[in-house]
Amino acid sequence: MTSLTDLLDGRWGAVRRDIRAQVADTKFRDPYGLGVEEHRAQVLEQLHELAGTGRNRLGFPVEYGGGGDIGGSIVSFEMLGFGDLSLMVKAGVQWGLFGGAVQLLGTRPHHERYLRNIMDLQLPGCFAMTETGHGSDVQHLRTTATYDPAAREFVIDTPDVQARKDYIGNAARDGRMAVVFAQLVTGSERRGVHAFVVPSRDEDGNALPGVRIEDCGPKAGLNGVDNGRLTFEQVRVPRDALLNRYGDVAEDGTYTSPIDSDSRRFFTMLGTLVRGRVSVAGSAGSATKRALTIAIRYAERRRQFFRPGDGEEVVVLDYLAHQRKLLPALATTYALHFAQEELVTSLHELQSADEVDEQRQRELESRAAGLKAVATWHATNAIQTAREACGGAGYLSENILPSLKADTDVFTTFEGDNTVLLQLVAKGLLTSYKDHFEDLSPLATARFVAEQFVGAVIERTAARQVVERIVDASPGRDDDDALFDRAWQCKLFEDREAHVLDGVARRLRQATAANAFEVFNDAQDHVLRAGRVHVDRLVLEAFVAAIDRCEDGEAKDLLSRVCDLYVLANVEADRAWFLEHGRLTSSRAKAVTAAVNDLCRELRPHARTLVDAFAIPEQFLAAPILAED
Q: 611 near 289, Cβ under 8 Å?
A: yes
Helices 320-352 and 553-573, packing angle to 10 deg: 100
Interface residue with a second copy among 105, 516, 530, 565 (CB under 8 A) is: 516
Residue 358 neighbours by CB distance under 10 Å: 12
Interface residue with a second copy among 143, 366, 380, 570 (CB under 8 A) is: 380
Nearest distance from C-beta of residue 508 to a second copy, angstroms:
13
What residues contact residue 422 under an 8 Å CB cut-off, 6+ apart? Answer: 369, 370, 373, 528, 531, 532, 535
What residues contact residue 625 under an 8 Å CB cut-off, 6+ apart? Answer: 294, 298, 390, 393, 394, 399
Interface residue with a second copy among 28, 32, 64, 255 (CB under 8 A) is: 32
Closest CA to 275 of 420, 55, 100, 130: 100
194-223 positions binding a second copy, by CB under 8 A:
216-221
Q: How far apart are CA 367 and CA 46, in angstroms?
A: 32
Nearest distance from C-beta of residue 531 to a second copy, angstroms:
11
Q: Residue count at the site for a second copy (CB under 8 A)?
A: 84
Q: 156 near 237, Cβ under 8 Å?
A: yes
Q: How far apart are CA 365 and CA 343, in angstroms?
A: 10
Is there binding between residue 586 and a second copy (CB under 8 A)? yes
Is there binding between residue 576 and a second copy (CB under 8 A)? yes
Is there binding between residue 268 and a second copy (CB under 8 A)? no
Residues 167-186, one symbol each (x = binds a second copy by CB under 8 A, - = not), give: x-------------------
Q: How far apart are CA 306 and CA 398, in angstroms?
A: 29
3-state secondary structure 231-287: EECCEEEEHHHECCCCCEECCCCCEECCCCCHHHHHHHHHHHCCHHHHHHHHHHHHH
Is there binding between residue 480 and a second copy (CB under 8 A)? no
Nearest distance from C-beta of residue 398 to a second copy, angstroms:
6
Q: Which stretch binds a second copy (CB under 8 A): 146-154, 269-277, 367-375, 391-399?
A: 391-399
Closest CA to 141 of 266, 291, 237: 266
Which residue, 73 or 376, has its beta carbon nearer to a second copy? Answer: 376
Interface residue with a second copy among 352, 460, 590, 618 (CB under 8 A) is: 590
593-612 positions binding a second copy, by CB under 8 A:
593, 597
Interface residue with a second copy among 150, 260, 580, 605 (CB under 8 A) is: 580
104-133 positions binding a second copy, by CB under 8 A:
130, 133
Q: How far apart are CA 584 and CA 581, in angstroms?
A: 8
Is there binding between residue 415 and a second copy (CB under 8 A)? no
Is there binding between residue 283 and a second copy (CB under 8 A)? no
Q: Which stretch binds a second copy (CB under 8 A): 103-111, 244-252, 385-393, 549-557?
A: 385-393
Is there binding between residue 315 and a second copy (CB under 8 A)? no
Is there binding between residue 190 and a second copy (CB under 8 A)? no
Q: Which stretch binds a second copy (CB under 8 A): 49-57, 343-351, 443-451, 475-483?
A: 443-451
Q: Give CA separation, 306 vs 111, 228, 299, in Å.
A: 66, 53, 15
